[in-house]
Chain A
Amino acid sequence: MSGPKMYLAKGLTDPRRLASKASRDGFGEGLVSAAAKDKRIVAVCADLTESTRLTGFKRRFPERFVQAGVHEQLITALGAGLALAGKVPFIASFAVFCPGRSWEQVRTNICLNQANVKIAGAHAGITVGPDGATHQATEDIAIMRCLPNMTVVVPCDAEQTRLAVPAVARLKGPVYLRFGRPKRPVFTTSRTPFRIGRAQPFRRGDDVAIMACGMMVHQALLAAEELKKEGIDCTVLNIHTVKPLDEKAVIAAAKRCGAVVTAEEHQLMGGLGSVVAEALSRHYPVPIESVGIDDRFGESGRSDELIERFGLGVRHVNQAVRRALKRKA
Chain B
Amino acid sequence: MGHIHDEQVKKMELKAVRIRREIIKMLATAGSGHSAGSLGMADIFTAFYFHVLRHNPKRPDWPDRDRLILSNGHVCPARYAAMAEAGYFPKSWLRKLRRPDSPLQGHPERTRLPGLETTSGPLGAGLAQAAGMAYAAKMDGKRWHTFCLTSDGEHDAGSHWEAVMFAGNRHLDNLTCVIDRNNIQIDGTTEIVMPLEPLMEKYEIFNWHVIEVDGNDLRQVVDAIHEAKAVSEQPTAIIAHTIPGHGVDFMEGDYRWHGRAPDPQQAKRALDQLDAYEKGLRADH
Give A residues with C-beta under 8 Å from B.
Answer: 42, 63-64, 66, 68-69, 71, 73-74, 76-87, 89, 104-105, 108-109, 112-114
29 pairs, A vs B, C-beta closer than 8 Å:
A42-B139, A66-B135, A69-B162, A71-B162, A71-B166, A73-B158, A74-B166, A77-B125, A77-B129, A78-B128, A80-B118, A80-B128, A80-B132, A81-B132, A81-B133, A81-B136, A85-B137, A85-B140, A87-B139, A104-B122, A105-B159, A108-B121, A109-B118, A109-B119, A109-B125, A109-B128, A109-B129, A113-B110, A113-B118
- Nearest neighbor of B137 in chain A, beta-carbon distance: A85
Which B residues between 143 and 160 are near A, CB-CB below 8 angstroms?
A: 158-159
| Cβ-defined contact, B166 with A68, below 8 A | yes
Q: Inside 8 A of B131's CB, which chain A residues have their CB? A: 74, 78, 81
Q: Is the CB of B136 within 8 A of A113?
A: no
Decide: A74 and B117 in contact? CB cutoff 8 A. Answer: no
Whether B132 contacts A78 by the Cβ 8 Å rule is yes
Which of A69, A73, A85 is packed against the most chain B CB atoms within 10 Å?
A: A85
Q: How far is the CB of B61 from chain A (nearest CB, A)?
A: 11
Are A84 and B139 in contact (CB-based, < 8 A)? no
Q: Is B251 an interface position by the 8 A CB rule?
A: no
Q: Closest 9 A-B residue pairs measured CB to CB?
A: A81-B132, A77-B128, A85-B136, A81-B129, A74-B162, A73-B159, A78-B132, A113-B119, A82-B132
How far, in whole Å, are A8 and B128 apart by their CA atoms in the complex?
43
A79 to B133, CA, bound (A): 9
Across the interface, do A74 and B163 meet the contact criterion of CB distance under 8 Å? yes
Judge if B212 is at the interface, Cβ distance under 8 Å.
no
How far, in Å, is A118 (CB) from chain B's closest CB?
Answer: 14
B109 contact from A69, A77, A85, A112, Cβ within 8 A: A112
Query: Least Cβ distance of A155 to chain B in Å?
Result: 27
Q: How far is the CB of B277 from chain A (nearest CB, A)?
A: 37
In B65-91, which residues have CB < 8 Å from any A CB? 67
B130 at interface by CB-CB < 8 Å: yes
B117 to chain A, nearest CB (A): 7
Determine how close the nearest CB of chain A comes to the CB of B103; give it in whole angstroms. Answer: 15
B165 CB within 8 Å of chain A: yes
CB-defined contacts of A63 to chain B, threshold 8 Å: 139
* Shortest Cβ gap from B131 to chain A (Å): 6
Q: Are A77 and B132 in contact (CB under 8 A)?
A: yes
The reply on B111 being an interface residue by CB < 8 A is yes
Q: A74-B131, A78-B163 are in contact. List 13 more A-B contacts (CB 8 A).
A: A63-B139, A69-B166, A74-B128, A77-B163, A78-B131, A81-B133, A81-B135, A82-B136, A84-B118, A85-B132, A108-B125, A109-B129, A112-B119
